[in-house]
Structure 1
């Protein structure tokens, strides 16, 4: 792994160096085997880019570049230039919610500053041939933060009131909550409608594709 970048500019420079290169080229340079597809290696692209950029957080619940306070998010892009899937942000808390608010929430901390790296994601492009796009360093505007906060508060209210199992992907304008588990047996604790403890699937916060498409479109128009 490359040394941790010491400044925001150094990180951005490294990210720009990756633009236009294929995942196969980057894997070869890192001495990493490229899997045939991502069915069993969903986080592989992100881990490969972390290696090249010098991210240190791994799976810890902190930004990928801890010293810089920057989170890395890869985003698979289709031929039309739009995101192909929602973007996972973090696991949602389902218990121990006393005193939790938007200002001190984990998700706000995660989204304070994000380095977005688009990657070709169409299934008919061999994984090794998929190319990395130009990076975007983003922080939420006041309007974007307000929209995120509104969705988060709506979803957290439902969790607190014991309605976690009634939440669907349709709830939230730009943020959604949905199951995040390797299998249906990986249950966690939550509140039921009467305040009693129940077992349910872990949930994760995801950014909806139309929101990440907005970010990329605005950025490339500015470019």
Structure 2
């Protein structure tokens, strides 16, 4: 299984759905991966395990996780009632060089063009090796979903371009959120203030808000 590479979208979906009901411990054993005691220092461990199991090959390159299929892989931690436990990171937000950038050509749109969602029951009281993979589903934004994403992206990008990145908080955006994305507070990147002067700030990332991923779950899995 460690060298598995899906050749078609149908193959990927079939393989993804075949792991539904398995625990992370069972998947780790199949792939020879050691399960960490906690995720404090390995926040991305579940995603990396599923990349390995499902044959994602992009690694950290700026392209979809399954480059030949144009499909991104996203794990979605949920509770036992099927409610997402946190917002979903999509990609790093550029804080400079964004003049003239359009939704049609932005990295965020490319990342969300087609997503294989893998919900995992991940409540904190469940040991990592006992957390269960639920039924994965493939999602492409419909017209209404894309419109919401594009509007939020435009609003947040305009604020960055106007030098107002420090003003942005969780209230902005209906379905998207822009917030700091850094391993620690000493990681800094350059941005520009309203007068066009450069300054150092924390890197920012685009995240999908919980009500949006809840809606996707409801639509695709009929979770009530």
- TM-score bucket (shorter structure): over 0.9
**Is the contact made by 1:88 and 1:207 (CA closer than 8 Å) also made in structure 2?**
yes
**Is the contact made by 1:77 and 1:120 (CA closer than 8 Å) also made in structure 2?**
yes
Quote the offset at 1:198 in angstroms.
1.0
Q: CA RMSD in A?
A: 0.9
Match of 1:111 in 2: 112
Match of 2:175 in 1: 174
Match of 1:94 in 2: 95
Quote the offset at 1:221 in angstroms.
2.2
Quote the offset at 1:183 in angstroms.
0.8
Quote the offset at 1:79 in angstroms.
1.9
**Is the contact made by 1:72 and 1:115 (CA closer than 8 Å) also made in structure 2?**
yes
**C-alpha separation between the residues in 2 aligned to 1:220 and 1:64?**
23
Q: Describe the SS at the equivalent of 1:36.
A: coil
Q: Describe the SS at the equivalent of 1:100.
A: coil
Report the count of equivalent residues: 222
- Within a 5 Å distance, the mapping from 1:143-158 to structure 2 comes to 143-158=144-159
Quote the offset at 1:220 in angstroms.
1.6
Quote the offset at 1:139 in angstroms.
0.3
**Is the contact made by 2:170 and 2:177 (CA closer than 8 Å) also made in structure 1?**
yes
Q: Deviations over 1:1-53 (max 9, x none)?
A: 23321100000011011100000010011111100111111110011111111
Q: Deviations over 1:67-108 (max 9, x none)?
A: 000000000001221100000000000001122110000000
Q: Which runs of 5+ in 2 are unaligned?
A: none
Answer yes or no: is 1:22 the counterpart of 2:23.
Answer: yes
Q: Describe the SS at the equivalent of 2:218.
A: helix
Q: Which runs of 5+ in 1 are unaligned?
A: none
- TM-score scaled by structure 1? 0.98
**Is the contact made by 2:99 and 2:161 (CA closer than 8 Å) also made in structure 1?**
no
Q: Describe the SS at the equivalent of 1:204.
A: strand
- TM-score scaled by structure 2? 0.97
